[in-house]
Amino acid sequence: MKLSALLIAIEVGGTLAFAMSGLVEATRKRMDIVGVFSVAFVSAFGGGTVRDVLLDRRPLFWIQNEAYLWLVLALVVSAPLWLRTLRHKLGGWLMELADAFGLGLFAISGTTIAMAAGMPPLVAILMGAITAVVGGVSRDVLCNEIPKVYRGHQPYTLCALAGCSVLLVMHALGVGEELSSLAGIATATGSRLLSVALDLRLPSWLSTSN
């Protein structure tokens, strides 16, 4: 299956953003280089790999485009050269920013691929959310924590779902692929950054104390 140039650009950006969020989390746990690479790798490729396995797409996107592997490897190996400076300049926002861009980029890539595979709208939206969220969920499971996206009560998966829905609606209205994709990414990433900036909170779904 030939990926369009747009899809490749989306996947490269999302891969770098998520690998960096995994890198930051793993260094926080003081892991060695193997641990840091593994967590960065799972954060970057976990969501897309699960999507490809569920849809039975082979070769997997990171095997088909081996450059992704070298990219993440280079990111991890070169991190001592730039991570501290970047963190110093950007502070706590670094990870939130990388994560929000990964969220939007992966959600749109997942939904686009699922639509191309002929999935119905609900499944295509779910595949977008799975692509965007499973990498971070796997990262947290490997770090022995309850996934942040389930207990954070800050909109995260909902932002991905909103972006995927915008993409589907614009696609159904006949808007071009590039514009629909950009609008979807902007919706997901923008609403996520807004949620962080305004510290928006979702209520617990059901209280069980009574």
| Residue 105 or 159 having the CB closest to its own copies | 159
Mark residues 11-50: x for contact with its own copies by CB under 8 A, - for none.
Answer: -------------x-xxxxxxxxxxx-xx---------x-
CA–CA gap between residue 198 and residue 44 (Å, rounded): 27
Closest CA to 164 of 202, 131, 205: 131
Q: What is the DSSP string of 107-137?
A: HHHHHHHHHHTT--HHHHHHHHHHHHHHHHH
197 binds its own copies (CB under 8 A): no
Burial class (CB in 10 A: 0-12, 13-18, 19+), 59: exposed
CA–CA gap between residue 186 and residue 44 (Å, rounded): 20
Residue selected from 145, 176, 194, 200 as contacting its own copies according to rule CB under 8 A? 145
Q: Could you say which residues in the range 108-137 bind its own copies, by CB under 8 A?
A: 119-120, 122-123, 126, 137
Number of residues that bind its own copies (CB under 8 A): 60
- Give the footprint of its own copies on this chain (CB under 8 A): 24, 26-36, 38-39, 49, 53-56, 58, 60, 63, 66, 69-70, 76, 79-80, 83-84, 87, 119-120, 122-123, 126, 137, 141-147, 149-153, 156-158, 202-208, 210
